[in-house]
Amino acid sequence: MRVSDLISGVLPLEPPKFPLLPDSRGYFGAFGGTYVPEILIPNLQQLSKTFDQIRNDPTFWQDYLHELVTFSGRPTPVTYAKNLSKTLGGAQIYLKREDLGQTGAHKVNNVIGQGLIARRLGKKRIIAETGAGQHGMATATMAARFGFECTVYMGEEDVERQRPNVFWMERLGTRVVAVKDGTRTLKDAINEAMRDWSTNHEDTYYALGTACGPHPFPALVAWLQSICGLEARAQLQIMLGKMPDRVYACVGGGSNALGIFQGFIGSQQVQLVGVEAGGRGTKPGEHASRIAGGAGTPGIAQGYETIFLQNSDGQMIDTHSVAAGLDYVGVSPILADLSSKGLVKMDRASDAEVVGAIKLLMATEGIIPALESSHALAAAFRDAPSMKTDQAILVNVSGRGDKDIFTIASAFDDDSWKRFLKKKAEEGSGSLKA
Amino acid sequence: MNQGMRTKKTTKDRIGLIGHVVANYPSPEAARAMIRNMVEAGVAVIEIQIPFSEPAADGPVFMAANHCALENGVTVNDAFTLMHEASKAHPNTDFVFMTYLNIVYKAGYAAFVKRAAESGARGLIVPDLPLEYVDRLDQEAKVFGLDNIRLIAPNTASDRLVLICKSARGFVYAVARSGVTGGATAVSTQLSGYTSKISALTPTPIGLGFGIRSPEDIMGLKGVSDYAIIGTAALQAWQTGGDATHRDFWKKIAKAANHS
């Protein structure tokens, strides 16, 4: 293996073919569609048309790559986790390092693409929803760089959990609106962004952050994220000379999973594993596993048909995950379809397993993964020991864990951190008085 | 089997009224009182909204009402009970269900529509069900004699408007402006252009909604629309002063509409 190959031979230079297109009604098998109030139909039709154009437009792809390479640090590396693999004593583990991109997560891939689309459509203002804050952060940096006015909707509960991201978004010039309705999490932020878009459809572009919502968003976001999987496939070919046996990714909405899976979809020998939030139990309200475990049922909400966590009347129910980015009630219609056809296996990891996975990866490889990505790691760590040492696992480290310092420190019950917080709080209130 | 809605085109000096309640919100008694007030004021059509956890087309007032109703434990079953009671108590008023598609989907299209018809509903309003996907609900609605109401927005393209109007039944729900329910709408000459475009395409009466709040709005809409749909302003009247204020609100609206 030559290091120079890893630098020159990894980026997909042509617009990638997209194997996951929906039918003419926006459906992927039994899931998808465009279930929105009439006022939003013209915008979605226009976006659909634009998506069809850019998919075959080398100029768009060149602009996209240029921005990702010069602004966001692509390609992101694949790291061979040698110590970790040895510790677990089974399959060799490789990590796709989306945590190293601009704003520390895969979200930027989507945001840059949609920013270029908004520019093409002549929009002046960008709106977005965010759960963990990662998509909001990525959007805020893009908006600052591209010169858009920007508003990010975030559930009030997430605003409280992810204060550092809120701080940075606001400093980047974005207006962060805390959504106080419903369960005050990601789904409510999506509802509110849709309402904003209904009102301001002429000058505003809605940059949806995951492969969910009405058509064409699921397909558009999945296509923009495919760069992650295409790079990883090329990188493993160079590093390993073969395909991995399994690929793991966490699934909130499903954009990082669809991104990395697209490098390997259609290869019979590669098993694709999506990992949902197992939370603290299997009762309703204790987790956010829509597919794994079978708690979710088909429904139509938030503009599309998929598997939702809902009650028998069709009301969405409360979810829980230690990771704010995984507690969404729905899931990408593309993943619902792939999983119903047996092309993706859905699994789950509990809050406790996730904290264990973070500890292990930090200790063995010096990498701090996001709570979300650690779900994929936890499932991979569970499975690796029962695999052979000549087998390979690829895990998408979709984001970095710095943002989770408050949650992780409290999970680790770190006394000196608690003292630090207390001291800072006292200093803070002191300076407010002064 | 029901006979569908009894809506009709109106003349220049008169406008019909369409009102709205969220099932059992703020309480079962309050919802029933609101219905009574509306019937007394001569409201022709009353929408009973089945609350949904993701009310995408609703503004802050109805969003909060939906969530509050759900927190109070209001179920789909409760909404059917209310429909049954109201339609029986007020046989000269047309009652329709307004809700989001998941409520229908989850119950099963056929089962939901059958039960709606048995409860006395004459129509359905499902704001997140665009033309592309209406066939299934239309089919069941036809079987059970319900009108599946079409919605139109100011930015709906002309070719699409033709298709929507072609299959309109009961009334055409013309959304008066961008956005969600509850904001203000300026009654303007633009509106009359909008509704005359619809009238040219279908003999089905037009109901104009979103942002109609006052007797002045109603006066301005005569000759522009066959019906005026009032939701948020009436609920706010209840929230401000309860039964009396709500009754008074509808009296004034009815007077402006030339009902009394």
Q: Which pLDDT value is given to residue B3?
A: 81
Residues 6+ away with beta carbon under 8 Å from B12:
B222, B223
Asked if residue A214 and residue A185 are part of one domain, the reply reads: yes
Residue % of chain A over a pLDDT of 70: 99
Asked if residue A198 and residue A337 are part of one domain, the reply reads: no
Residue A284 burial (CB < 10 Å; 0-12/13-18/19+)? middle
Q: Any bridge partners for residue A272, and if so which?
A: A247
Q: Do the bridges between strand B45-49 and strand B150-152 make them parallel or antiparallel, or are there none, so unpaired?
A: unpaired
Long-range Cβ contacts of B69-76 (<8 Å, 24+ apart): B69/B22, B69/B23, B69/B24, B69/B25, B70/A315, B72/B24, B72/B25, B72/B27, B74/B23, B74/B24, B74/B25, B75/A313, B76/A313, B76/A314, B76/B50, B76/B103, B76/B107
Among A79-93, A172-186, A234-248, B163-177, the least confident range = A172-186
Q: Which pLDDT value is given to residue A434?
A: 44
Q: Are A151 and A175 in contact (CB under 8 A)?
A: yes
Q: Which pLDDT value is given to residue B260?
A: 45
Per-residue pLDDT tens digits for A260-304:
999 999 898 999 999 999 999 999 999 999 999 999 999 999 999
Strands across the sheet containing A204-206: A175-179, A149-155, A125-130, A204-206
Coil, strand, or helix at residue B222?
strand
- The reply to whether A67 belongs to the active site is no
Confidence of residue A128 (pLDDT cuts 50, 70, 90): very high
∠ CA A375-A378-A382, nearest 5°, is: 145
Taking the C-alpha atoms of residue B40 and residue B215, their distance in angstroms, rounded to an integer, is 17
Set of chain A residues whose Cβ sits within 8 Å of the Cβ of B183: 199
What letter represents residue B170's amino acid? Answer: G
Asked if residue A137 and residue A230 are part of one domain, the reply reads: no
- The reply to whether A426 belongs to the active site is no
A180 in contact with chain B, both atoms CB, cutoff 8 A: no
Examine residue A8 and state whether it is found in any structural domain, yes or no: no
Catalytic site residue from B29, B40, B47, B135: B47
Examine residue A421 and state whether it is found in any structural domain, yes or no: no
Asked if residue A402 and residue A335 are part of one domain, the reply reads: yes
Catalytic site residue from B58, B78, B138, B147: B58
Nearest CB partner across the interface for B129, out of A25, A35, A315:
A35
Mean pLDDT over residues A160-165, rounded? Answer: 85
Per-residue exposure over B197-225, b if at least 16 CB sit within 10 Å of its own CB, e if not:
ebbebbebbbbbbbbbbbeebbebbbebb
Examine residue B7 and state whether it is found in any structural domain, yes or no: no
Set of chain A residues whose Cβ sits within 8 Å of the Cβ of B67: 181-182
Cβ under 8 Å to A: B residues 171-200? 175, 178-180, 183
Q: Does residue A105 register a pLDDT over 50?
A: yes
A46 in contact with chain B, both atoms CB, cutoff 8 A: no
Helix axes A134-146, A163-171, angle to 10 degrees: 10
Per-residue pLDDT tens digits for B204-251:
999 999 889 999 999 999 999 999 999 999 999 999 999 999 999 999
Number of domains in chain B: 1
Q: Which pLDDT value is given to residue B258?
A: 79
Examine residue B38 and state whether it is found in any structural domain, yes or no: yes
- Both structure tokens of A10: 């990894």
Asked if residue A246 and residue A188 are part of one domain, the reply reads: no
Q: Are A340 and A326 in contact (CB under 8 A)?
A: no
CA dist A69 to A64, A248, A269, A398, B4, Å? 9, 25, 31, 18, 61
Asked if residue A241 and residue A197 are part of one domain, the reply reads: no
* Domain final residue pick, A218, A239, A260: A218
Q: Which pLDDT value is given to residue A373?
A: 98
Examine residue A433 and state whether it is found in any structural domain, yes or no: no
Asked if residue A340 and residue A296 are part of one domain, the reply reads: yes
Examine residue A14 and state whether it is found in any structural domain, yes or no: no
Q: Are B66 and B22 in contact (CB under 8 A)?
A: yes
Examine residue A3 and state whether it is found in any structural domain, yes or no: no
Residue % of chain A over a pLDDT of 90: 85
Set of chain B residues whose Cβ sits within 8 Å of the Cβ of A297: 106
What is chain B's Cα-based Rg? 17
Mutation for A interface: B50, B53, B194, most A CBs within 10 A: B53
Mean pLDDT over residues A101-118, rounded? Answer: 97
Nearest CB partner across the interface for A199, out of B56, B101, B179:
B179
Range of the domain at A269: 78-103+226-408
Residue A58 burial (CB < 10 Å; 0-12/13-18/19+)? exposed
Task: Detail the DSSP E strand segments found in A264-387.
Answer: 271-279, 297-301, 304-308, 345-350
Range of the domain at B186: 16-256
Taking the C-alpha atoms of residue A358 and residue A410, their distance in angstroms, rounded to an integer, is 13
Confidence of residue A163 (pLDDT cuts 50, 70, 90): confident
CATH number at residue A243: 3.40.50.1100
Q: Does residue A160 register a pLDDT over 90?
A: no
Asked if residue A334 and residue A284 are part of one domain, the reply reads: yes
Residue A87 burial (CB < 10 Å; 0-12/13-18/19+)? middle
* Residue ranges of chain B whose pLDDT lies below 70: 1-2, 179-188, 259-260
Helix axes A134-146, A107-120, angle to 10 degrees: 40
Mutation for B interface: A23, A24, A31, A38, most B CBs within 10 A: A38
Q: Which pLDDT value is given to residue A380?
A: 98
B106 with A310: Cβ contact below 8 A? yes
Task: Return the residue matching tokens 């572009």.
Answer: A205
Examine residue A208 and state whether it is found in any structural domain, yes or no: yes
Mean pLDDT over residues A339-361, rounded? Answer: 97
* Domain final residue pick, A192, A218, A244: A218
∠ CA A44-A50-A53, nearest 5°, is: 150
Mean pLDDT of chain A: 95
Number of domains in chain A: 2
For residue B230, what is the DSSP state?
-
CA distance, residue A283 to nearest chain B CA (Å) = 19
Mutation for B interface: A313, A319, A329, most B CBs within 10 A: A313
Q: Does residue A389 register a pLDDT over 80?
A: yes
For residue A74, what is the DSSP state?
P
Q: Which pLDDT value is given to residue A431?
A: 60
CATH number at residue B181: 3.20.20.70
- Both structure tokens of A1: 């293996």
Per-residue pLDDT tens digits for A36-75:
999 999 999 999 999 999 999 999 999 999 999 999 999 9
CA dist B168 to A6, B114, B125, B133, B143, Å? 60, 20, 12, 14, 16
Examine residue B227 and state whether it is found in any structural domain, yes or no: yes
A301 with B54: Cβ contact below 8 A? yes
Examine residue B2 and state whether it is found in any structural domain, yes or no: no
Asked if residue A110 and residue A98 are part of one domain, the reply reads: no
Taking the C-alpha atoms of residue B175 and residue B206, their distance in angstroms, rounded to an integer, is 10
Q: Which pLDDT value is given to residue A412?
A: 85
Examine residue A352 and state whether it is found in any structural domain, yes or no: yes
Examine residue B207 and state whether it is found in any structural domain, yes or no: yes
Examine residue B1 and state whether it is found in any structural domain, yes or no: no
Q: Does residue A361 register a pLDDT over 90?
A: yes
Residues 6+ away with beta carbon under 8 Å from A32:
A22, A25, A26, A215, A218, A304, A305, A306, A333, A334, A337
Q: Are A240 and A233 in contact (CB under 8 A)?
A: no
Q: Do the bridges between strand A297-301 and strand A304-308 make them parallel or antiparallel, or are there none, so unpaired?
A: antiparallel
Asked if residue A356 and residue A269 are part of one domain, the reply reads: yes
For residue B50, what is the DSSP state?
P
Catalytic site residue from A96, A339, A398, A403: A398
Q: List the alpha helices (DSSP H) in B126-187.
A: 135-144, 158-166
- The reply to whether A82 belongs to the active site is no
For residue B147, what is the DSSP state?
E
CA dist A157 to A53, A62, A180, A189, A327, Å? 39, 39, 8, 11, 12
Q: Which pLDDT value is given to residue B183?
A: 66
B3 in contact with chain A, both atoms CB, cutoff 8 A: no
Taking the C-alpha atoms of residue A10 and residue A257, their distance in angstroms, rounded to an integer, is 19
∠ CA A384-A385-A391, nearest 5°, is: 55
What letter represents residue B75's amino acid? Answer: T
Per-residue pLDDT tens digits for A396-415:
999 999 888 888 898 888 89
Examine residue A434 and state whether it is found in any structural domain, yes or no: no
| Numbers of helices and strands, H then E, in chain B | 10, 9
B106 with A313: Cβ contact below 8 A? yes
User: By C-alpha distance, which of B195, B63, B230, B211 is closest to A181?
Assistant: B63
What is chain A's Cα-based Rg? 20
